[in-house]
Structure 1
Amino acid sequence: MLITGLLVGAAFGFVLQRGRFCITGAFRDVWVSKNSWWLAALFVAISVQAIGLAAFNTFGILPTDSVASAFAPFATIAGGFIFGFGILMAGGCATGTYYRAGEGLVGSWFALIFYALFAAMFKTGPFAQSTAFVRNWGVTENATIYQSLGISAWVLVAVLLAVTGWWTYRNLTRPKLPMATLPPEKTGVAHLLFEKAWNPYITAILIGLIALAAWPLSWVAGRKWGLGITGPSSNIAGYLTTGNVELVDWGVFLVLGILVGSFIAAKASGEFKVRVPDSKTIVKSIIGGALMGWGASWAGGCTIGNGLVETSMFSWQGWIGLIAMILGTGAAAKIFIMPRKVGNPAAS
């Protein structure tokens, strides 16, 4: 059943690449351009998965609420902030780094290598004790928001849908600037899949459905979780350094599938190109990747594990971690992007 991880990952990578779904960009735009277009799209993906997970629990299909991560406030906030800072330096979050690596972006390969390496170092390597300490410090009694409030998860689903629906409608009904378009070279399905720009909100719905499908497929393979990037990335580093085959699970096939799906999408759409950045960008990618591995290990998840999956479970870790990541990205944007815009008004 491990092959289903590869298939889900390939579908995920394909949709991410063709939809240009970049969570780092969503966080960055909030601070740099005061634009919430892509952040709202992330909330659409969260909402789709939230409906499915609530249904899984209500109808006894999968007890996904039983695996929500315990909330360790310091680890979640500090780790989320570090991760958010790192993704802006690396030029992409966990999934963004994977799918851009599949497009041929060499800087993303450096970020990816150090992300996996530092995730392994903080999960099972020399810094594992620091992770264990912060992950066990001040852990709260209830893992989820609805448990703390003593209400049904469906109440929070309804609130999330109302907010997301209003937000999406507001964005979609705003006047749009005219854009120059080239005449299509492809027709039919090929045009839709590989040439036409995808709507962010349609892309978000597809991502939410893929995230939902990952749960039963991963569960059947013995891995009681849905989409996840940091743990599998750490496992890859662990396998390559120890040869322990037990580390190669459904999640490892998932992240490898993202590379495959992204490569197929980029190649078929003519967007694949090996691009080697300058030395300064490579150094930033390496530092950013290292911060990503550290931060995600402490926070218990990345923009997928916390920002997409745990949020759809309404866990405290997911929502507090998401806020911390946005703040971390904002801090990095203030250091690396905003001074450049002030110094060069034309850049804005």
Structure 2
Amino acid sequence: MLISGLIVGTVLGFVLQRGRFCVTGAFRDLWTTRNSRWFTAFLVIVAVHSVGLFALQALGVITLEAEAFPWLATIVGGFIFGFAIILAGGCATGTYYRAGEGLVGSWFALIMYALFSAIMKTGPLSGFNTSMRGITIDASTIYGSLGISPWVLVAVLVVAVGLAVRHHLSKPKVKIATLPASKSGLAHVLFEKPWGAFGTAAIIGVIATVAWPLSAATGRNDGLGITTPSSKLVSFLVTGDPELVDWGVLLVVGILLGSFIAAKGSGEFRIRVPDATTIIKSIGGGALMGIGAALAGGCTIGNAMVQTAQFSFQGWTALGFMILGTGVAAKLTLMRKRPASTPTSSTSGVSV
């Protein structure tokens, strides 16, 4: 059953690359262009995932475990991670799929992210990480603290996200010039036709839901996750211990494979070497990503998508401070470079 991790990762990597879906762009646009389209798409993932998770739990397929809330580590780690993804040019999954496209800067960011997540989780800084995450309060889930059914919050989230999606879809569409199709049928849809933000988000939400029972079948009671598997991958490469290769490790390997397949099929793969300044930022950003994600207990997937779908305090707190950290980094590194009189326009979910 471990092979299902590789399959899910490959499909996820393919969808992320073809949908150009990077959470860094979603967070960044909230600050730089005041555009919430891609952030709304991200919340579509959370909403779809939340419905799926609580449905699976109601059916007895999975069990969602509640833990104490490590509030200090979540706040500090979330902010560091949000700041770091601007420097690195992508979040955890964004860095993985862009590495699969041939972006050398993402290779550096990915290596440092995996290395420093391992340093924080099982290496020299593991004691610091453990002590920080040991500062907790008993509150675990929002619905538990309110004493209500999780389905109440699920319904509120679904309605709110649905209204936001309708708002964006009601706006006039901007026509973009495209080249004549060179493929037909399924090949055209998979490798050539642009994928919409909300459709891509819904697919990712379904993938995230399916991941839970497949992962649980291997003894790993969790869904999509990037930081711990990346840490385990580094540890495996250093020690050669096959016990470290679990469902999650095969998942992240699959993301690289899937994004490479998508990039090659769409003609978007090519080796791109950035300048020295960008490489230095990628290295520093990747290292901070690993530190921040380990402290916060997850990245934009493990925290901002999986934990939020469970309505945990950790997930929603981490999401808020990731967005804040992204805003500070954007202010310091991106927005100050723009002339005040120059209007900005929204970009896709692709990171800069």
Which band: TM-score by shorter chain? over 0.9
Q: Which amino acid in structure 1 is aligned with residue 323 of structure 2?
A: I
Query: Which residue does 1:308 correspond to in 2?
Result: 305
Deviation at 1:70, TM superposition (A): 2.8
Separation (CA, whole Å) in 2 of partners of 1:69 and 1:286: 33
Q: Which moved more, 1:175-184 or 1:76-85?
A: 175-184
| Divergent runs of 4+, >6 A | none
Query: Which residue does 2:140 correspond to in 1?
Result: 143
Query: Which residue does 1:218 correspond to in 2?
Result: 215
Deviation at 1:183, TM superposition (A): 1.2
Query: Which residue does 1:55 correspond to in 2?
Result: 55
Return the TM-score normalized by structure 2. Answer: 0.96
2:93 to 77, 92, 95: 95
Query: Which residue does 1:328 correspond to in 2?
Result: 325
Query: Which residue does 1:207 correspond to in 2?
Result: 204
CA contact (8 A) 2:76 2:292 kept: yes
Deviation at 1:178, TM superposition (A): 2.2
Query: Which residue does 1:186 correspond to in 2?
Result: 183
1:157 to 154, 157, 163: 154
Separation (CA, whole Å) in 2 of partners of 1:156 and 1:34: 26
Alignment deviations for residues 217-239 of structure 1 (CA, whole Å, 9 cap, x no partner): 10111111000000000001111
Query: Which residue does 2:349 correspond to in 1?
Result: none
**Any residues of structure 2 matched to 1:32-111 within 5 Å, and which?**
32-64=32-64, 66=65, 68-111=66-109
Which runs of 5 or more structure 2 residues have no equivalent in the other structure? 346-352
Q: Which amino acid in structure 2 is aligned with residue 248 of structure 1?
A: V
Q: Which amino acid in structure 2 is aligned with residue 266 of structure 1?
A: A
CA contact (8 A) 1:266 1:272 kept: yes
Deviation at 1:201, TM superposition (A): 0.5
Separation (CA, whole Å) in 1 of partners of 2:70 and 2:77: 10
Which runs of 5 or more structure 1 residues have no equivalent in the other structure? none
Q: Secondary structure at the match of 1:342?
A: coil
Q: Which amino acid in structure 1 is aligned with residue 272 of structure 2?
A: R
Query: Which residue does 2:26 correspond to in 1?
Result: 26
Separation (CA, whole Å) in 2 of partners of 1:57 and 1:211: 14
Alignment deviations for residues 285-320 of structure 1 (CA, whole Å, 9 cap, x no partner): 000000000000000000000011001011000011
Deviation at 1:275, TM superposition (A): 0.3
**Any residues of structure 2 matched to 1:253-272 within 5 Å, and which?**
253-272=250-269
Asked if 1:117 is matched to 2:99, the reply is no
Separation (CA, whole Å) in 2 of partners of 1:346 and 1:154: 42
Q: Which amino acid in structure 2 is aligned with residue 213 of structure 1?
A: V
CA contact (8 A) 1:13 1:99 kept: yes
Return the TM-score normalized by structure 1. Answer: 0.97
Deviation at 1:343, TM superposition (A): 6.6
CA contact (8 A) 1:69 1:317 kept: no
Q: Aligned residues: percent identity?
A: 59
Asked if 1:319 is matched to 2:312, the reply is no
Q: Which amino acid in structure 2 is aligned with residue 175 of structure 1?
A: P
Q: Which amino acid in structure 1 is aligned with residue 62 of structure 2?
A: L
- Corresponding residue pairs, total: 345
Query: Which residue does 1:293 correspond to in 2?
Result: 290
Separation (CA, whole Å) in 2 of partners of 1:166 and 1:140: 34
Q: Secondary structure at the match of 1:34?
A: coil
Separation (CA, whole Å) in 1 of partners of 2:282 and 2:254: 22
Q: Secondary structure at the match of 1:273?
A: coil
| RMSD (Å) for aligned C-alpha atoms | 1.2
Alignment deviations for residues 235-268 of structure 1 (CA, whole Å, 9 cap, x no partner): 0111112222211111000000000000000000
Q: Which amino acid in structure 2 is aligned with residue 47 of structure 1?
A: A
Deviation at 1:182, TM superposition (A): 1.5
